[in-house]
Amino acid sequence: MSRIVNLGVLVSGSGSNLQSIIDRVETGSLPAAIRIVVSNNPAAFALERARKHGIPATVIAHEGFANREDYDRRLVETLNAHGVELVVLAGFMRVLSPFFLRAFPMRVMNIHPALLPSFPGTHGQRKAFDYGVKFSGCTVHFADEGVDTGPVIIQAVVPVYDADTEETLSQRILREEHRIYPQAIRLYAEGKLRVEGRKVRVLDHPQPDGSPRHNPPVTDF
């Protein structure tokens, strides 16, 4: 049996990943409660999504803070004041300080729109598209002090087609983001994630099917 995990979701933009989490909380398929949504960007559409669903949402803009640690201190205070256990980064466009990460050790998740460790940083979809890879995807990982470097929890792979544009590839990746982020949170809530060094072991969960995938397909000859 899983318990209800109290989430704090940090956002900066559209909040479609936030929406995918809200939807699964509301249907009861994700044993979590979103206690607070925090945006560094007052114009983030994610704030409206939260408010529409009756979730407390607040803006902490970076203006007015002398340095990153002061900003992060305010973030930690806000999350703690709402009883947050797991911090979910959902398109939050700031790098978190070691101070913040120490406050939530292995309790900060991030989603990245590429198959890490390839194409970290901003514009992961564009970097993969421009590189010409035949598969890309997305990754949910625990955050550590690097940029997109922490232990990997779950990944989804999507093909890149010749006819793709950066936009069509990004949409294909985003659809999978909306599936793997709630899944990662659910595994956490169920106590099924064991972090062992760089590796995250997933307990009591089906194995992936072992069939390899090729792009372009390997034909009989």
Under the rule (CB under 6 A), what is the footprint of ligand GRF?
13-17, 46, 90-91, 111-113, 174, 177
Q: Are 14 and 178 in contact (CB under 8 A)?
A: no
- Tell me how many degrees the CA angle 134-178-29 measures, rounded to the nearest 5: 140
Nearer residue to ligand GRF within complex by CB, 35 or 172: 172
Cross-strand bridge partners of residue 140: 111, 154
Task: Tell me whether residue 81 or residue 147 sits nearer to ligand GRF (CB atom).
Answer: 147
Q: Which residues are catalytic?
A: 112
β-bridge pairing 152-159 and 86-90? unpaired
Closest residue to ligand GRF using C-beta atoms:
91
Q: How far is the CB of 112 from ligand GRF (least distance, A)?
A: 6
**How far apart are alpha carbons 24 and 183 in whole angstroms?**
10
Closer by beta carbon to ligand GRF, 50 or else 76: 50
- Closest contact distance (angstroms) between CB of 139 and ligand GRF is 9
Output the CA–CA distances (angstroms, integers) from residue 151 to 66, 81, 100, 116, 213, in the order listed.
31, 27, 17, 10, 24
How far apart are CB 42 and ligand GRF at their closest, in Å?
15
